[in-house]
Amino acid sequence: MSAYLPPRRLILLVDDDRLLLDYLKTVLDHSGYETMTAESAAEALQRVAEREADIALALLDISMPGMSGLDLARRLKEHTSVAFMFLSSVDDAETARQAASHGAVGFVVKPVDAARLLPAFESALARADEIRRLRRTEANLNAALAAGRETSLAVGLLMARYQTDRNTAFEVLRDHARSSRRKVNEVAEQLVAAEELLNSLHGAFAGRLKAK
Could you tell me the pLDDT band of residue 17, with boundaries at 50, 70 and 90? very high
**Which amino acid type is present at position 111?**
P
CA–CA separation, 87 vs 74, rounded Å?
A: 15
Check whether the bond before 111 is cis (ω within 30° of 0).
yes
pLDDT tens figures, 142-175: 665 566 778 888 888 888 888 888 888 888 888 8
pLDDT tens figures, 18-42: 999 999 999 999 999 999 999 999 9
Identify the pLDDT of residue 149.
Answer: 79
Q: pTM of the predicted model, to two decimals? A: 0.65
User: Which run of H or of E encompasses 86?
Assistant: strand 84-88
CA–CA separation, 47 vs 75, rounded Å?
A: 13
Q: Write b or e for each residue in 72-97: b if 16 or more Cβ atoms lie within 10 A of its Cβ, otherwise e.
A: bbeebeeebebbbbbbbeeeeeebbe
The CA distances from residue 32 to 36, 48, 113, 160, 171, in Å, are 13, 21, 17, 62, 54
Question: Which stretches within 163-183 are classed as H helix?
Answer: 166-179
- From the options 2.40.40.20, 1.10.10.10, 3.40.640.10, 3.40.50.11540, give the CATH code of 140-211: 1.10.10.10
Domain boundaries, the chain: 10-112, 140-211
Question: Does residue 62 contact residue 69 with C-beta atoms inside 8 Å?
Answer: yes
Tell whether the model's pLDDT for residue 2 goes beyond 80. Answer: no
Q: Is CATH 3.10.580.10 correct for 10-112?
A: no
